């Protein structure tokens, strides 16, 4: 705090000289006051302006006329008067860190005090206006608080400014849509007067832009032929305009490329990549769930994958509505414009597939009731029939009746330029989580440097392949299983050949078979009949086998490395398919192969050692040894707390760790990620959790496990490569944390790659 109360009364823009503030006074200057002071310092014509704090005002109200403090106040008021002129009328404004509802409106055309005593009287116009301004800070939430939530009332400020006879004009420093340098009219207002479009106004806008580095709305007036700056405030602009403006500042020499990279919010990039609602002003949501895949979509309601495919074939838009989705729904999910589910969360099946395919998705809508028999759904009090229009917002989780207007994504050259600059600062690789050619191509177009997670079981998400997979799952003995696996080898070998070819030597991390059984078992009576028929079984026999396969807790059941250890023939099938696919890519397309085989769901070093030894033995049987043409390595996915704690032992048997943060969060918290939406929102409202741990990494718990595992792993194996492959790898806040752990790569869904590239560059800067 300033040493003297008198120092809390000072001129931001004196009428007849440059401003001279000490460090303590500069600390007090915020909001509008900061822009006025900065513009006056830069030499731009600025309305004469003074400033005082609440503490100074409270002392002034009890000061005697002629006292040193009263004399200082009067002398400061005279700094609003230009030499040789009469005192101007005055304007009183608030100036806070941020624009808040409830602050007093500007009070203008106030007569300057005629006598010294009038300058201290709260009943006179100037005193009344100043008091009203300070009183408005008390409305609602305190404007300023320190880290201990102590109100800093004494340092709240009010500014007093010389008024102008000419009308005051608002103008934008940059166009809100194009990002081009202004001046431009404020959206919705008529064109600027000609006197505010010339060189002087352009220079004013350029100066504000240089100082602020963001879109601003300026208040200006004419003094003769001069454009005089009065005030400014930031204005929210679309991310497309922000990127164009950032590139323009670099071109003008205002920013360096590194500065441009550091100034753009990575969390806003999805707005460029997905459709959004134009406006919600006249629409009220029927319900709100969890937005798990960004973007907005509208279309006719359909309840089955088959209907979604039929709509697509007819060129019509649709929204697939389901209690939850599974592998059998993949084709319908790809055909639909968006997905709406009653169950699930950020890492549910619907969310993962939606993000890979770039579809908007809202999950966990607890009020959603589906009546398949009558072809209706109910959301709150509203009942809608199949074919009715519905709109979903995958950003906010809101669901609306009808087809609301959407804005389509706009990816311009500015984004590519900014990401190229970002790559110049970034040291951590960005890979992607995909297992299809379409997904790989999308990821490469966004700058993916490899595949950090190819979920091999996801390659069977089609009706024909699901039959082959279920034949294996329902096999009764080794002979049945081996026969079923032969069909899977052919499918996977071809898929891998295409992936290796598309990625052209970039690393591909293939996770060994890890199907939580509940995602792959037939669910509906129709699926049960179809699967039984495809296996040549009676319905009754098939249902007995199905009952034996159903697990109480499949997410912690017979999956991951447990499957490979129980049924080595499944592991053998995968390794044969990987080798066959790699060799086909080399021979047919002359591309190198860089394969990373990842063992999932391990909890002990003995599990990893067993699987690794079998993989290497199979490779030897197939005549494979690492080469420049066909590189391969073996690593593990750390997704269980015990694996993280015993990382030092595990690291001795692997070439890399990849942290599966989705399951690691689930098993650390003991929270089912699909059921979490039912209570996580309440936890956040009650301040029990700072954020959804499935969206932003829990640094103190899950993060500490990751940090410990990395430290112990690298102590045991100095060449250990470290990756992150959960959805947290696309969250800006989580990426800052991962960057501090010195990881080698992160891997996220394709549409989050630009976010990761930018956020990691900012962490490096």
Active site residues: 349, 725
User: What does DSSP assign to residue 218?
Assistant: E
Q: How far is CA 467 from CA 177, 327, 462, 522, 541, in A?
A: 51, 11, 9, 10, 17
Task: Quickly count: other Cβ atoms within 10 Å of residue 439's Cβ.
Answer: 23
**Rounded-to-integer distance, Cα 647 and Cα 651, Å:** 6
- For residue 398, CA distances in Å to 115, 283, 454, 678 come to 60, 11, 31, 16
- CA 398/CA 380 separation, integer angstroms: 13
Listed residue (458, 459, 467) closest to 542, CA to CA: 467
Write out 59-94 in H/E/C secondary structure: HHHCCCCCCHHHHHHHHHHHHHCCCCCCCCCEEEEE
95 contacts 31 by C-beta, under 8 angstroms: yes
CA dihedral sign, ordered 436, 437, 442, 446: positive
**Quick check: 658 and 429 in contact, CB under 8 A?**
no
CA distance 694 to 680: 10
Shortest CA distance to 445 belongs to which of 437, 453, 435? 437
Pairing of strands 49-53, 157-162: antiparallel
Task: Provide the greatest CA pair distance for the chain.
Answer: 106
Structure tokens at 51: 């400033």
Return the HEC string of 627-676. Answer: CCCEEEEEEEEECCHHHHHCHHHHHCCCCEEEECHHHHHHHHHCCCCCCC
Dihedral angle, C-alpha 136, 140, 141, 144, nearest 10 °: 0
Measured CA distances, 662 to 460, 591, 665, 672, 757 (Å): 22, 33, 5, 10, 20
Q: How far, in Å, CA of 24 to CA of 10, rounded?
A: 11
Say how far apart CA 662 and CA 580 lie, in whole Å.
31
Element (H, E) at 583: helix 568-589
Cα Rg of the chain (Å, integer): 32
Beta partners for 297?
A: 392
**Residue 105 C-alpha from the chain's centroid:** 35
The number of C-alpha atoms within 13 Å of 473 and in the hemisphere containing its C-beta is 30
| CA 301 to centroid of chain Cα atoms | 28
**CA dihedral angle for residue 507, residue 512, residue 513, residue 515, rounded to 10 degrees:** -80
Structure tokens at 362: 């809202």
Task: Tell me the C-alpha to C-alpha distance, in Å, between residue 499 and each of 440, 451, 487, 746.
Answer: 7, 9, 19, 19
């Amino acid at each position: 705090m300033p040493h003297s109360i008198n120092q809390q009364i000072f001129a931001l823009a004196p009428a007849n000289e440059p401003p001279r503030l000490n460090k303590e006074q500069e600390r007090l200057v915020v909001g509008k006051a900061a822009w006025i002071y900065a513009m006056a310092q830069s030499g731009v014509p600025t309305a004469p302006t003074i400033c005082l704090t609440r503490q100074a005002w409270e002392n002034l109200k009890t000061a005697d006329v002629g006292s040193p403090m009263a004399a200082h106040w009067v002398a400061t008021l005279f700094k609003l008067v230009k030499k040789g002129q009469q005192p101007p009328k005055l304007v009183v404004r608030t100036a806070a860190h941020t624009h808040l509802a409830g602050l007093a409106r500007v009070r203008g055309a106030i007569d300057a005090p005629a006598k010294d005593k009038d300058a201290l009287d709260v009943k006179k116009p100037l005193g009344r206006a100043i008091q009203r301004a300070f009183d408005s800070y008390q409305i609602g939430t305190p404007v300023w608080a320190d880290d201990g939530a102590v109100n800093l009332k004494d340092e709240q400020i009010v500014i007093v400014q010389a008024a102008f006879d000419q009308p005051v004009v608002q103008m934008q420093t940059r166009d809100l849509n194009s990002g081009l340098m202004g001046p431009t009219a404020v959206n919705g207002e008529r064109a600027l007067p000609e006197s505010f479009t010339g060189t002087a106004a352009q220079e004013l806008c350029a100066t504000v832009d240089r100082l602020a580095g963001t879109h601003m709305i300026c208040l200006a007036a004419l003094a003769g032929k001069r454009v005089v700056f009065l005030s400014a405030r930031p204005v929210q602009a679309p991310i497309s305009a922000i990127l164009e403006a950032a590139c323009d500042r670099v071109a003008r020499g205002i920013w360096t490329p590194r500065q441009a990279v550091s100034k753009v919010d990575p969390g806003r990039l999805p707005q460029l990549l997905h459709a959004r609602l134009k406006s919600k002003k006249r629409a009220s949501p029927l319900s709100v769930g969890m937005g798990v895949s960004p973007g907005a979509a509208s279309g006719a309601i359909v309840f089955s994958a088959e209907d979604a495919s039929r709509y697509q074939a007819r060129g019509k838009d649709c929204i697939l509505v389901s209690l939850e989705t599974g592998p059998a729904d993949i084709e319908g999910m790809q055909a639909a414009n968006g997905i709406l589910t009653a169950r699930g969360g950020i890492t549910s099946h619907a969310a993962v597939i939606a993000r890979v395919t770039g579809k908007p998705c809202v999950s966990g809508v607890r009020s959603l009731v589906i009546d398949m028999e009558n072809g209706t759904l109910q959301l709150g009090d509203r009942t809608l029939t199949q074919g009715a229009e519905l709109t979903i917002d995958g950003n906010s989780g809101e669901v609306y009746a009808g087809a609301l207007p959407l804005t389509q994504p706009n990816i311009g050259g500015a984004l590519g330029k900014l990401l190229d600059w970002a790559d110049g600062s970034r040291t951590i690789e960005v890979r992607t989580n995909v297992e299809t050619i379409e997904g790989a191509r999308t990821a490469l177009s966004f700058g993916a440097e490899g595949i950090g997670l190819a979920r091999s079981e996801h390659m069977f998400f089609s009706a024909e392949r699901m039959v082959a997979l279920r034949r294996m799952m329902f096999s009764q003995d080794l002979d049945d299983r081996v026969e079923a696996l032969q069909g899977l080898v052919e499918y996977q070998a071809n898929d891998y050949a295409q992936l290796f070819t598309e990625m052209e030597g970039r690393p591909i991390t293939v996770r060994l078979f890890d199907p939580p059984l509940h995602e792959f078992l037939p669910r509906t009576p129709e699926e049960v009949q179809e699967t039984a028929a495809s296996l040549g079984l009676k319905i009754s026999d098939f249902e007995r086998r199905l009952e034996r396969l159903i697990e109480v807790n499949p997410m912690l059941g017979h999956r991951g490395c447990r499957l490979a250890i129980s049924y080595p023939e499944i592991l053998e099938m995968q390794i044969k398919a990987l080798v066959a696919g790699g060799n086909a890519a080399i021979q047919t397309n002359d591309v190198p192969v860089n394969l990373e085989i990842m063992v999932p769901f391990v909890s002990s070093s003995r599990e990893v050692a067993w699987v690794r030894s079998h993989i290497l033995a199979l490779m030897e049987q197939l005549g494979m040894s690492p080469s420049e043409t066909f590189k391969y390595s073996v690593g593990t996915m750390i997704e269980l707390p015990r694996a993280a704690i015993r990382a030092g032992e595990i690291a001795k048997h692997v070439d890399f760790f990849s942290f599966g943060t989705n399951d690691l969060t689930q098993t650390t918290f003991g929270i089912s990620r699909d059921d979490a939406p039912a209570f996580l929102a309440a936890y956040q409202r009650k301040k029990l959790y700072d954020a959804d741990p499935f969206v932003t990494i829990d640094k103190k718990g899950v993060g500490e496990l990751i940090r410990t595992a990395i430290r112990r792993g690298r102590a045991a194996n100095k060449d250990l490569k470290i990756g992150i492959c959960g959805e947290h790898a696309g969250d800006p806040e989580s990426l800052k944390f991962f960057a501090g752990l010195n990881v080698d790569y992160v891997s996220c869904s394709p549409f989050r790659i630009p976010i990761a590239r930018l956020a990691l560059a900012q962490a490096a800067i």
